[in-house]
Amino acid sequence: MLNSMRKNLKSLSWVLWVVVIAMGLFAFTSFGDAMKSQNSRRWVALVDGEPVSVEEFQQRYRALASAYRQAFQGNYDAIAARLPRDVLDQLINEQVVLIEAQRVGLAASPREISQLVTQDPAFQVDGRFVGKDRYQRLLRDSGRDAATWEYTVARSILSTKYQRMVTDPITVSSQEVLEEYRSRNEKVKADYFVLGTEELSAAVVVDEAAMRAFFDTRRDAYQTAERRRAAYVLINAERLGGLEPVADEEARAFYEDNLLRLYSRPAQVRASQIFLAVPAGATPDQEAAVRTRAEDLLLRAQAGEDFAALARSFSEHSTQTLGGDMGFFGAGSMRPEFEAAAFALEVGEISELVRSDLGFQILRVTDRRDASVQPFSEVRDPILRQLEFSRSQGAVGRAVNSLRDEVRADPTQFLAAAERLGLTVEDTGLLSADGTVESLGAFPQIARSLFQVNVGGVSAAITLPQGSVFLQSTEIRPPEPLSFEQAREPLEADYRQAEGVLAARRKVENGLVEGGDLAGLAEKLGATVESTVEFTRRQPVTPFTPEARREAFLAPLGEVAEPLEIPEGLLVFSVSEHQELEPTLFSADEENLRRSLLQRRRSLLFSSVVQQLRQDSQVQINEALMAQFENRGS
């Protein structure tokens, strides 16, 4: 579905030229190169046939990894293992939104892209756009190009439009804002004790007639769970079979076609920098002041001070937090003056001041890599595996799409379509809502999908590590009541618990008959009174359950409230403090709270919409490639 977007973007530079002349701005770089390369890139996932490219994945991974390292610091390693999957999930979610946005007719116009780029603070000085040349240099310095960046901007516009279309109808009433304020700010504090019921329950003498009467009033609680059965097919390369092996000639052709891009590495240097900006339009005196600061830092670096520490303290570049580290780069990826200085240095050497149109830089080369080419013999096996995987995934994707399209048109064709594809149809057996299919593994999405379709209906494709699964519901067996004897074991436990709680209530009631407060009652029952901290309606506080918290806000101040059953026993409490709402404070905070509540509701709605879109989409993950990223941390 994104193909039309890509076709439109190919000619975008010419359209933008017309637009920006009218606006007195500039012409953006053509989107053509970026779009042409989309089809040839390797992919980490396919969403309804649209690729999530390796390049997108790597860029997002690096950005998130850098942000997480700064945010979590010493705890980064604890979350690093799941980062590749988190990144993949983000990109897949973005792709399903883009596909749906196009399906409903949304688009990003050249004028909108132009406005978003020129209004980006990253490309402005003193509130004005920096101009086409400097804009392109800024992108180039960060390892990007204008065409790809503008394509990213177009995607962002589409996503934003779709999100607004979905969420703008959501509103929040004044009463809802008041309730939100109350749940956040009204507070109580309580004294309490817990009367244990375990001993009382264990001491209960089971009366068969009484337990039967107990059962008769609660029959609905004792029944089998609803169960469902389905016919299913698993689609993977092994099940399809008959795939032609990849020949050595194909692997060599792939190697030669991608020699420069994948298997050649130009000479590279790794450098760190200290950058001091010279503002646009600076006077000679202002520039001289910056130069003086730069020269002082150069002398300190040459004298042996820690270069990374100087960069962290004084550099005015985004690499400041990394100690100025620019990573490895080759010829043509940085400004000429920067590259010339870097490639002229040996490892450990520090440059003189480098003046660019943005300011002054001091460089220190930290590593070098010679140009190299991997011989075919070294990469032959990985290429064969990748081509075989791509071929098998292509066959799997075609089979999945074929089956999906047939059953969407006519679900009754499920068995016939599976037979035409040479797939084996199997039976799940009867499954409860949390059941699993032994031959497929413990994946809750199988039963979850089955419980969302009626008899005869076919599920969306379910993506599992071993392949894609389709289910056709064949039977729904509703809950069936259990007889007294069938329910005896859980019934007796429930009966004992209920009788134990009843005995505890009688002890509390007898103690209250004689009068007195909570402390006096606790003393009579041999219990110890404890106090909670102040808590709101939403704030968890031990041992108060959500029901107990609700009752605490309704209980009269200082009186012993109606005892409540909790997992630990019987909760007996009285409210010692109740902080009521302050109307003037509510009025002052009402609009901020309304915005916060609205944003939260819209976010929750959009998240659920995205999850539904993803469930309805055909997602194919390049597990072999993902395994490589996970094993090496990208």
Using one digit for the tens of pLDDT, what is the confidence trace for 450-459?
Answer: 999 999 999 9
- Cβ atoms of 263 and 373 closer than 8 Å: yes
> In terms of DSSP H, where are the helices of 328-375?
336-343
pLDDT over threshold 70, residue 634: no
What local confidence, expressed as pLDDT, does residue 30 receive? Answer: 33
* CATH number of this structure's domain 267-370: 3.10.50.40
Using alpha carbons, list the distances in angstroms from residue 152 to 59, 90, 108, 293, 486.
12, 15, 11, 38, 62
Residue 563, preceding peptide bond in cis (omega within 30° of 0): no
Residue 513 predicted with pLDDT over 90:
no
Name which of 166-175, 259-268, 447-456, 569-578 the model is least confident about: 259-268
Give the mean pLDDT of 471-482: 95
Place of tokens 């806000």: 553
Instruction: Kindly tell me the sign of the dihedral angle through the C-alpha atoms of 87, 88, 89, 93.
Output: positive
Lowest mean pLDDT of 29-38, 174-183, 349-358, 380-389, name the range. Answer: 29-38
User: Measuring CA to CA, which residue among 128, 125, 105, 97 is closest to residue 26?
Assistant: 128
CATH number, domain 3-169+600-632, options 1.10.3720.10, 1.10.4030.10, 3.90.400.10, 1.10.579.10: 1.10.4030.10
Question: Could you count the other beta carbons within 10 Å of the beta carbon of residue 370?
Answer: 8
Q: How confident is the model at residue 519 (pLDDT cuts 50, 70, 90)?
A: very high
Mean pLDDT of 362-373: 92
* pLDDT score for 159: 93
CA distance 25 to 406: 51
CA distance 59 to 427: 43
d(CA 145, CA 142): 9
Looking at per-residue pLDDT, the higher value among 633 and 4 belongs to: 633
Flag whether pLDDT at 9 surpasses 60.
Answer: no
In this predicted structure, the answer to whether residue 19 has a pLDDT above a threshold of 80 is no
- Rounded to two decimals, the pTM is 0.52
Tell me what the mean pLDDT of segment 474-497 comes to: 94
Look at residues 494, 412, 442 and name the one whose alpha carbon lies nearest to residue 206: 494
Element of type H or E holding 492: helix 488-513
Tokens of 574: 């009285």
3-state secondary structure of 94: helix
Output the six-digit token pair for 137.
């240099």
Does residue 178 contact residue 557 with C-beta atoms inside 8 Å?
Answer: no
**Across residues 304-319, what is the average pLDDT?**
92
Q: How far is CA 482 from CA 44, 210, 471, 487, in A?
A: 50, 18, 29, 6
Of 142-156, 209-223, 422-436, 439-453, the one with minimum mean pLDDT is 142-156
Q: What is the pLDDT of residue 272?
A: 93
Q: Which two tokens stand for residue 415?
A: 């068995």
Confidence of residue 429 (pLDDT cuts 50, 70, 90): very high
Q: Residues of CATH 3.10.50.40 domain(s) within the chain?
A: 267-370
**H or E stretch at 297:** helix 284-302
What is the spatial distance between Cα 478 and Cα 457, in angstroms, rounded to a whole number? 17
- 3-7, 310-314, 340-344: segment of lowest average pLDDT: 3-7
Percent of the chain with pLDDT over 90: 48
User: Beta partners for 330?
Assistant: 268
Q: What is the pLDDT of residues 281-298, one digit of tens each?
A: 889 999 999 999 999 999
From 106, 110, 87, select the one nearest 160 (Cα to Cα): 106
Percent of the chain at pLDDT > 70 equals 92
Contacts with 138 (C-beta within 8 Å, 6 or more apart), sequence order: 122, 123, 130
Q: What is the residue whose two structure tokens read 């055909």? A: 618
> Cα(371)–Cα(378) distance, rounded to whole angstroms?
17
Instruction: Report the topology of domain 227-243+390-477.
Output: Chitinase A; domain 3 (3.10.50)
- Name the band, by pLDDT with cuts 50, 70 and 90, for residue 35: very low
Mean of pLDDT over the chain: 86
Asked if pLDDT for residue 586 goes beyond 80, the answer is yes
Could you tell me if 190 and 532 are in contact, meaning their C-beta atoms sit under 8 angstroms apart? yes
Q: Which amino acid is at 559?
A: E
pLDDT for the residue 632: 57
470 with 458: CB under 8 angstroms? yes
Judged by average pLDDT, the poorest of 133-142, 198-207, 475-484, 565-574 is: 133-142
Q: From residue 386, give the alpha-carbon distance in Å to each of 61, 65, 623.
A: 22, 26, 11
Mean pLDDT for the stretch of residues 526-555: 94
- Give the pLDDT confidence score for residue 10 in this predicted structure: 36
Amino acid at 21: I
Q: Provide the pLDDT for residue 162.
A: 94
pLDDT of residue 33: 34
Quote the pLDDT of residue 371.
87
| pLDDT for 91 beyond 90 | yes
Q: Is residue 141's pLDDT more than 80?
A: no
Return the structure tokens found at 472.
């056709």
**Average pLDDT, stretch 346-350?**
94
- Residue 493 confidence (pLDDT): 93
Farthest CA pair distance, the chain = 101
Delimiting residues of CATH 1.10.4030.10 domain(s) in the chain: 3-169+600-632
Residue type for position 335: R
pLDDT at 594: 92
- The architecture (CATH level 2) of 187-223+486-579 comes to Roll (3.10)
Question: Could you tell me the pLDDT band of residue 266, with boundaries at 50, 70 and 90?
Answer: confident
Residue 41, pLDDT above cutoff 50: no
Rounded alpha-carbon distances, angstroms, from residue 316 to 204, 319, 354, 365: 76, 8, 15, 19
| CA-based nearest residue to 461, from 397, 544, 507 | 397
Find the DSSP H helices in 106-145.
110-118, 132-141
